[in-house]
Amino acid sequence: EAPRKSWLDKLRQGLRKTGSSIAQVFTGTRIDDALYEELEAALLMADAGVKATEYLLEDLKRRVKEAKATDPTAVRGMLVVSLTELLRPLEKGLAVGEHTPTVMMVVGVNGAGKTTSIGKLTRHLADADQKVLLAAADTFRAAAREQLSVWADRTRVEIVSQEGGDPSAVTFDAVTAGRARGCDVVIADTAGRLPTQLHLMEELKKIKRVIGKAQADAPHQVLLVVDGNTGQNALSQVKAFDDALGLTGLIVTKLDGTAKGGVLAAIARERAIPVYFIGVGEKLEDLQTFNAREFAQALLE
């Protein structure tokens, strides 16, 4: 129980910047237009985006009317319920064990926390007795390969890496090796230049195609790592990568220090792709499964 509490504290501390300003809206004595206007501004400030904000306000007003609420504190409780229900579709566990190996391709722009998240995910899987193989498909950046090797050593898993090779060839080799060695999971780390650079998406599409050649029906997961601290930018990335690759899941990092945590509401409203994990720090135990209710409470209380 203890570690769980500490990560929730980190999440709360991060979201408090936003949370306190949203919670602030409900400290008055009246439920009036001014309250809803303040709430709208606070949700937009938290990067919930126009669509999710409009949706939440309407849903909340309906609940308030139905319950004939008169106390702003009760209204805040209703907002927790509205937000929880909005976020619920994002709540989903990452399934492994249906394929041998389960092949995961991890994408995201540089600095989002991709390599760190892969390291944490690897530990999570290794702890669950899964045999993991890492593929360093970012063949251009030596630092990316080195960083991934450090994680491979730390978590005692094998890695397929090749300096300056073709990213899709390295991935093909890794998936083939994973099958031959009876691995449970193969995780491919990919390059992360800006998503606006067409070339990156083409390279990633090629990797995806080639994975399918090494193992029919793979990749089983195409995971995007996004920095939660970039707010609406994170939503743009979700859309761009999903349009190009068809994402199966998200890892939202850096929620331990952000005033923009409302972006999860925007993602839920505009591109409801499961959030398998959230990152609340740089340590191994800081990768946590996403829970809609806990998140809504951390954001609003």
Single residue of 91, 203, 286, 294 touching ligand GDP by CB under 6 A: 286
Piece of the chain touching ligand GDP by CB under 6 A; list 47-55, 202-210, 211-219, 276-284? 276-284
Distance in Å, CB of 193 to ligand GDP, minimum: 11
Using rule CB under 6 A, residue 275 touches ligand GDP: no
Distance CA 30, CA 35 (A): 8
Span 51-110, contacts to ligand GDP by CB under 6 A: 108, 110
Cis geometry, peptide bond prior to residue 195 (ω within 30 degrees of 0): no
Within 8 A by CB and 6+ apart from 285, the residues are 3, 7
Using rule CB under 6 A, residue 8 touches ligand GDP: no
**Residue 146, H or E segment:** helix 142-155
For residues 17 and 57, the answer to whether their CB atoms sit within 8 Å is no
- DSSP secondary structure string for all residues of 69-87: ---HHHHHHHHHHHHHHHH
Q: Which residues are documented as binding site for GTP? A: 108-115, 189-193, 253-256
Joined together, the tokens standing for residue 137 give: 């498909």
Distance in Å, CB of 255 to ligand GDP, minimum: 7
Using rule CB under 6 A, residue 192 touches ligand GDP: yes
Q: Which is nearer to ligand GDP, 184 or 189 (CB)?
A: 189
Using rule CB under 6 A, residue 113 touches ligand GDP: yes
Size of the residue set binding ligand GDP (CB under 6 A): 18
Using rule CB under 6 A, residue 167 touches ligand GDP: no
Q: Over the range 47-85, which residues count as b (16 or more CB within 10 Å of their CB) and which as e?
A: bbbeebbebbbebbeebbeeeebeebeebbbbbbebbbe
Distance in Å, CB of 110 to ligand GDP, minimum: 4
Distance in Å, CB of 230 to ligand GDP, minimum: 12
With tokens 């970012």, the residue in question is: 138
Q: What are phi and psi of 71, to 5 degrees?
A: -110, 120
Q: Would the CA dihedral through 290, 92, 50, 65 be positive or negative? A: negative
Q: Which is nearer to ligand GDP, 82 or 190 (CB)?
A: 190
Per-residue contact string for residues 116-145; x = within reach of ligand GDP by CB under 6 A: x-----------------------------
Using rule CB under 6 A, residue 195 touches ligand GDP: no
Using rule CB under 6 A, residue 146 touches ligand GDP: no
Q: What are phi and psi of 132, to 5 degrees?
A: -110, 140
With tokens 């849903």, the residue in question is: 59
Distance CA 84, CA 81 (A): 5
Q: Which residue is at the shortest CB distance from ligand GDP? A: 279
Distance in Å, CB of 250 to ligand GDP, minimum: 13
Distance in Å, CB of 191 to ligand GDP, minimum: 10
For residues 87 and 263, the answer to whether their CB atoms sit within 8 Å is no
Using rule CB under 6 A, residue 261 touches ligand GDP: no
Q: Which is nearer to ligand GDP, 95 or 150 (CB)?
A: 150
Single residue of 155, 256, 267, 295 touching ligand GDP by CB under 6 A: 256
Residues that bind ligand GDP (CB under 6 A): 108, 110-116, 192, 253-254, 256-257, 279-282, 286
